[in-house]
Amino acid sequence: MLNQEQTVNSIHFNPVSPHEFAVTSGSQVDIFDPYTNEVRKTIGRFNKSTAYSGRFRSDGQLLVAGAEDHSVKIFDLSSRAILRTLQGHEGPVHTTLFSSNKCHIMSASDDKTVRCWDLAMAETLSIMKGHTDLVRCGDIGDSSPDVWITGSYDHTVKLWDIKSGETINTFDHGDPVEAVVVNPAGSLLFSAGGNYVKVWDLLKGGLVTSLESHLKTVTSLAFDAPRSRLYTGSLDQHVKAFKCDTFELAHSLKFTAPIISVSVSPAETHLVVGMADGMLAIRHKPPKKQAVHLQEEKLKRKKKAFTDENAATIVAPVTRKQRPLLGYENNLNNHEYKACLDKVLKKTKTPFVTINLFEELMKRGALENALAGRSELELTKILDFIHKYINHPLYSACVVRVFNHVLDYYAHVIGLSQTMDKKMNLILAAIDKEIEIEKSLLDTMGAIDLLLNANSATRFVRAPQI
């Protein structure tokens, strides 16, 4: 964890190896070394104005950033010199990025406009007007470089033809839009705003689905390198990864503060998260080739025979026939936590297995993944299990922790469903009953202690002398 002192509003990886990453915070953009996690360069020529959206060009030679003073600045990364300062916006510029042709720049501003700039001439080619509130995010698809996408606090996502400056299509997200990204094929668009992410079909022009897993506003979206996972960052302090083919929740990470920005390395070695309190979290994992090599080495060491020098014989490790894995164990090993819990609740008759699974999920920090995205029917089955065993002397400690997670995650739906409310009331009644029993036991234990103490006192009273 590193402290940037001010809110980290943007993180972007250099597309060129070794994939340095730019962290925009306060009045500067810091370029971090991915191997040492130390700042290699600092770009701070923003005249004490807040900087936004530091982004690399695809060749890694230039960086563009917007500023609170309404300007857009382009920097040469080798010398950190300002190559261009683009003026024209009438409000802070929160979003900037290079187009795929390297010659044009997108800028989106609080003045409700989007501009297309010519880098060589430092001139505005087109001004796109149509949003009625602050424009805070944008993206350009790889497959359609002439179609630009922007999101605004007017609740809309707009597709623009930069040649004509006209709107191609408009989607109503339903809340102020904080982030937009488009998949490489240009067929799906993801928009974040409120506590959900909406998926749009750009070919058919309609809504595909809505990803509702966060409890607070989703502020950031990022793909992994193969574009098979969509990472979402939220003010609820969680980063979540969704499968792009099925839109299921794959896993979730908890951080220490509200999250403003998320980015994944093109080499898939780093996940970097920027937070509202200025903290920067950097998570590492070895490259795939290195991970495979380490696994192979581990297997070789396991299979390697041990030599007994005195006997001059080779002692090989004993091989044991493994029992076949049960269905839910396969799910657990494949990190399919939701499916694993469903199978256990459906097929196991003894609570022992279910309790062990809950404890394993809590140990892995995956209980939230297993509970997330449940329908009313699915959640009812979990609540039935909680109600049945919350007073069980062997299982109550674990069941109470699970119930607390359910309350934290689904607090926003309590009072909206009669079935859910009925189940909740049954559980609360069971808890109240247990509390009354505990109070009665404490009273009984207190009375027993008084009797024992009185008996002990009389035993040691000295007999009166005659």
Does residue 320 carry a pLDDT above 50?
no
Does residue 313 carry a pLDDT above 60?
no
Which is more confident, 241 or 380?
241
Say which amino acid occupies 112.
Answer: K
Q: Are 74 and 83 in contact (CB under 8 A)?
A: yes
Angle between helices 396-410 and 376-389 (to 10 degrees): 150
pLDDT at 318: 35
Q: First-to-last CA distance in the chain?
A: 82
Q: Which of 253, 207, 208, 246 lies closest to 232 in space, CA to CA?
A: 253
Does residue 326 carry a pLDDT above 60?
no
pLDDT tens column, 99-134: 988 889 999 999 999 999 999 889 999 999 999 999
pLDDT at 167: 92
CB atoms within 10 A of CB 36: 8
pLDDT tens column, 409-447: 777 777 777 777 888 888 888 888 877 877 887 778 777
pLDDT at 287: 57
pLDDT tens column, 243-300: 988 999 988 999 989 999 999 999 888 999 999 888 899 988 765 555 445 455 555 5
CB atoms within 10 A of CB 125: 15
pLDDT at 307: 38
pLDDT at 260: 94
pLDDT at 309: 41
Q: Strands 62-67 and 229-234, how do they pair?
A: unpaired
* pTM confidence score: 0.64
- CATH number of the structural domain 2-289: 2.130.10.10
3-class SS at 367? helix
- Cβ burial, residue 30 (10 Å; 0-12/13-18/19+): buried
* pLDDT classification of 141: cutoffs 50, 70, 90: confident
* pLDDT classification of 4: cutoffs 50, 70, 90: low
pLDDT tens column, 32-88: 998 888 888 899 888 888 999 999 999 999 999 999 999 999 999 988 889 999 999
All CATH 2.130.10.10 domain ranges in the chain, comma separated: 2-289
Q: What is the C-alpha to C-alpha distance for residues 136 and 134, in angstroms, rounded to an integer?
A: 6
Q: State the DSSP code for 102.
A: S
List Cα–Cα distances, 426 to 105, 414, 432, 434, in angstroms. Answer: 59, 14, 10, 12
* pLDDT classification of 304: cutoffs 50, 70, 90: very low
pLDDT at 382: 86
Supply 421's token pair: 């409310």
* pLDDT classification of 2: cutoffs 50, 70, 90: low
* pLDDT classification of 163: cutoffs 50, 70, 90: confident
Does residue 13 carry a pLDDT above 50?
yes
Q: What is the C-alpha to C-alpha distance for residues 11 and 438, in angstroms, rounded to an integer?
A: 53
pLDDT at 180: 96
Supply 341's token pair: 């819990």
Q: Which of 335, 330, 384 lies closest to 361 in space, CA to CA?
A: 335
Q: What is the C-alpha to C-alpha distance for residues 58 and 145, in angstroms, rounded to an integer?
A: 13
With residues binned 3-state (H G I as helix, E B as strand, rest as coil), the percentages for the chain, rounded to 5, are 25, 35, 35
pLDDT at 305: 39
3-class SS at 30? strand
* Range among 148-157, 266-275, 455-464 with highest mean pLDDT value: 148-157
CB atoms within 10 A of CB 253: 19
Supply 434's token pair: 């247990």
